[in-house]
Structure 1
Amino acid sequence: MNNTPSQKSIYIWNLLGNFAAAAVSVLYLLIVSRMQTSEVADQFSLATSIGNLWIIIGQFQVRNYQATDVKSSHPFSAYFYTRLLTVTMMVISLFPYLWTINYDFTNNSVMIITWIIVYRVADAFSDLFQGYFQQHGRLDIAGKAMVYRYALSVLILLFGLLLSHSMVLTLLALALFNLFFVFSYDYAHFKLFDKLSFRNSFSRNTIDESFKIIRVCFSLFIYGFLLTLVFNEAKLSISGAYAKGIVEAGAQRDYNILFMPVFFMSLCILVVRPLITQMAELWQRKKFQVFYKMFLKILLLTLSIGIVITFLTYLIGVNVLSLIFGLDLLKYKLELTILVLSGVLYSFSIILENILIIMRKHYYLLSVYILMFIVTKMITTELVNKYQIMGASISFCIAMIVYAIGSLTIFSIIKFRRK
């Protein structure tokens, strides 16, 4: 706390932390695929997909707003109270959702989903403290927290399955460990910088500030929720197709493995996360020329890296995944390439969205998200039923094309109006 780290140290720890965050899902699926049956691996894959959707409710997309609140417009107690509300909504809405989609879940499936959600509750609270560290220029602490927590979580999953052979008991241990870690590490480090009075967190002023945060971030939440629905639509359609006998056991697992590189493409965003707060400060100081120059560099770098990765994926992507997961994935060469290209478009769009958040013009993206969601709902089930995993890949790529073109159009219109 007393020794301010160098920018290099902050950048490296942020990079390592976000790499760990992207890699942990791959390692989880790798361990489960190798140590459990295809049926359990499918259940775990679906549970993680639902967890990815429900964490949006828990985080309520407050992180970027919190990190760019460079003037501390809201006290941390208001952000904390907001997170309590959103996590409560996250938990109580789970079972009505499972009842609604009704894919003939077994008791084992429901327990796996439940403990995955508890695990994601820990992620939601960790994200709150990481947002504080980012807001105050200490992303190195956030990076260290992610590296330590995710590394230990992988070991718990591995040895838990080795010792118990039970997916449910292992996920129970994993969830409880993550809750403990967030309290003993993230919160403990937060206390070195600030104090959180639980009494003040429930004061009238804090509650009013919290609802201000919710109102400002509501559009971001809708965007995040719609985007994750788009991400999950193909996975849910595959589950539906399996229930109808259209696809075989293991299809959900295979698609999730092929989809993993999309999350790694998001590293292009996470690597530049320290620059987002800097850009917010440039925008506040009205240094627009420097702001747009930095934005253009980030965009060009992301696209350049994305094109290279897509080309390499076409050449050796399925060979690498087959070797890592011990499965025959060679028949999915084109599907994987399409998904990686979709990940490039996703990264491009997220950069534009972050810029619009800094400008406080993000609410204009509503039409883009609604259009993307409608297109996805219209085409996904039919494509999956007809072309299985290829159909799922094409559907997701079309959605990302809509996302990229729509985001670029909105940004261009706003920039033109400012001129």
Structure 2
Amino acid sequence: MKKTIIQKIFISDETTTKSNFLWNTIGTGMLAAATMLFTVIVAHLSGEKAGGLFSFALTIGQWIGTIAYFELRTFQVTDVARRHSYAEYFYAKVFCCILAVLAGGGYIMLRGGTVEKAFFIFLLCIYKILDGYSDLYEGELQRYGRIDVAGKLLFWRVAGGILILTAGILLTQNLTVAVIAMIVYSLLMIFVVNEKALRVFEKGKLTFRKKEVGTVLIECLPLFLSSFLNTYVYSASRMSVDKVLDARYQLYYAAIFMPVMIINLFSTFVFKPLLSVMAEDYEQKRKRQFFLMIVKVCAIIVAVTVVCEIGAYLLGIPVLSILYGINLGAYKIDLLILLLAGGINALAFFMYYILTIMRKQNYALIGYGMEAVTAFVISDWLVRKYAIRGASVSYLIAVTVLLTIFVLFMIYNIWRGKKENGK
């Protein structure tokens, strides 16, 4: 059968572990780098205040976007027994995206502010909701063992969006128009390219089964709540900066926060391709392999954190100052604090996936709930008292609380398992 253009560009006849890893790394890397690249581009082309506004709007978009994600992919790719069909995940995703749009509108109405700022924030919410919808295709391709195809689609959608945004600003000198153009490009990539690529593998009819879709949503609800609360913690210190300090401080904080994502990025590279394998090890009760993989991944995350801390101490502030075009000389200690928090958060994020594989989602929800309460209580107070330093410390405290709780849950589960086996 003759190949379409999309098949020729995105889908090779065969895949290998190497190509899966390579394209997953490239695609995930581009997605992780996008926040930094967007902010840097806007700061250089539109100024510090516009950069600060864009960074804050993107942060809110990421928070609202977690509703669209609903952590369906986490459940989808670890559903190795295929208890649920693609159609069930599809309709669950559609419901979540509609809910996310309503939540974004609700947040804008409750927040208040100028109409222009509210509209701009809502646009970035829509963009991140589209990210969440696209995750459905990437998750299903991963279930088919074609994470290489998912990585290619993700890379070109995000990279193309960055180019569209840059060209839009240069041509129109209007940031809002440029963002709208980026959204239109993302829509075309998702509903034309992603859809056709997935249909090469998934040919089933999208039959709506209300009960099964409801089951998917209920099963993923603890995971979603955990993710929503965790993203709130990620956003809380930034919301406090927006509330308490001048708009340009939002850009300063975004600049020193950016390297935190490098640690999360590297940790994601390591463990996301392993999730299906680890799920099978756990399902088949190969406990030694399962726990050995946990130790190895944790060791790698710690090593990456140490390397990042050393690099940041020596070169971090000069490089970031040049990159963003602003003077960050006063924030070296804050950068180091945030990198430590990033390492702790990466470990907690990995533990979250382990709890998901073990189907202990409720434990994860308890941890993220306590983390969110901690952030809610301390963030505004610390930012008012210590400005950027307060924002950095509030994030560090919150993620430390989360990791501590997750480690205690893991120890409890291991102890309970040994006790049951002893009986």
TM range (shorter): over 0.9
Output the amino acid matched with 1:33: A
Rounded Cα–Cα distance in structure 1 between residues aligned with 2:111 and 2:367: 25
Selected match of 1:15 from 25, 45, 53? 25
Residue aligning to 1:110: 118
Of residues 108-117 and 292-301 in structure 1, the stretch that sits farther from structure 2 once superposed is: 108-117
Contact residue 57 and residue 86 of structure 1 kept, 8 A:
yes
Gap change, CA 1:143 and 1:186, over 3 Å in 2: same
Q: List runs of 5+ in structure 1 lacking aligned partners.
A: 242-246
Q: Matched residues in 2 for 1:337 and 1:95: separation?
A: 36
Tell me whether 33-42 or 333-342 shows the greater mean CA deviation.
33-42
Of the candidates 141, 155, 162, which is equivalent to residue 154 of structure 1?
162
| Counterpart residue number, 1:89 | 99
Relative distance call for 1:119 and 1:413 in structure 2 (3 A) is same
**More deviation, 64-73/41-50:** 41-50
Question: What is residue 334 of structure 1 aligned with on the other side?
Answer: 333
1:377-388 residue pairs with structure 2 within 5 A?
A: 377-388=376-387
| Equivalent pairs, count | 407
CA deviation after TM superposition for structure 1 residue 137, in Å:
1.3
Please say if residues 230 and 399 of structure 1, whose CA atoms lie closer than 8 Å, have aligned partners that are also in contact: yes
SS at match of 2:348: helix
The equivalent position to 2:194 in structure 1, one of 173, 186, 193, is 186
Q: Distance in 2 between matches of 1:67 and 1:269?
A: 18
- Cα distance in 1 for partners of 2:48, 2:326 equals 11
Between the aligned partners of 1:2 and 1:225, the Cα distance in structure 2 is: 36
Could you tell me which residue of structure 1 aligns to residue 64 of structure 2? 54
Residue 300 (1) aligns with residue 312 (2): no
Structure 2 letter corresponding to 1:305 = V
The alpha carbon displacement at 1:15 in A equals: 0.8
Q: State the identity %.
A: 30
Is 1:370 aligned to 2:380, yes or no? no
Residue of structure 2 equivalent to 1:350:
349
Q: Please give the alpha-carbon distance, in whole angstroms, between the structure 1 residues aligned to 2:129 and 2:106.
A: 18
The residue number in structure 2 matching 1:244 is none
Which residue identity lines up with residue 265 of structure 1 in the other structure?
Answer: I
C-alpha change, 1:53 and 1:2, in structure 2 (3 Å) is: closer
Q: For each residue in 1:118-158, what CA deviation from the matched residue of structure 2 results, as whole angstroms up to 9, or x when unmatched?
A: 21232112100111111121110111112111211111111
2:235 maps to 232
Aligned equivalents of 1:108, 1:154: Cα separation in 2? 22
1:288 shift after superposition? 1.1
Query: Structure 1 residue 269: deviation in Å?
Result: 3.0
1:270 aligns with 2:268: yes
Q: Distance in 1 between matches of 2:116 and 2:110?
A: 18
Provide the C-alpha distance between the structure 1 equivalents of 2:138 and 2:199, rounded to a whole number of angstroms.
Answer: 13
- Could you tell me how far apart the structure 1 residues matched to 2:373 and 2:289 are? 37
1:207 to 205, 210, 216: 210
Say yes or no: does 1:216 pair with 2:219: yes
* Aligned match for 2:249, one of 235, 248, 251: 251
The answer for unaligned runs of 5 or more in structure 2 is: 1-10, 419-423
Q: 2:40 aligns with which of 22, 26, 30?
A: 30
Two-structure CA RMSD over aligned residues (Å): 1.3
* Structure 1 stretch displaced more, 111-120 or 176-185: 111-120
CA–CA distance in 2 between the matches of 1:112 and 1:195? 38
Runs of 4+ in 1 over 3 A off after TM superposition: none
Q: Which amino acid aligns with 1:220?
A: L
| Cα distance in 1 for residues equivalent to 2:233 and 2:246 | 23
TM-score of the two chains, using structure 2 as the length reference: 0.94
Structure 1 residues 378 and 188, CA gap change in structure 2 (3 angstroms): same
Counterpart check, 1:166 vs 2:174: yes
Alignment deviations for residues 323-378 of structure 1 (CA, whole Å, 9 cap, x no partner): 11111011110011111111100100011111111111121123222221111111
Residue 177 of structure 1 is matched in structure 2 by 185
Partner of 2:247: helix, strand, or coil?
coil
Query: What displacement does 1:254 show?
Result: 1.1
Q: Is the 8 A contact 1:108 1:168 kept in 2?
A: no
- 1:392-407 residue pairs with structure 2 within 5 A? 392-407=391-406
Offset of 1:2 from its aligned partner? 7.1
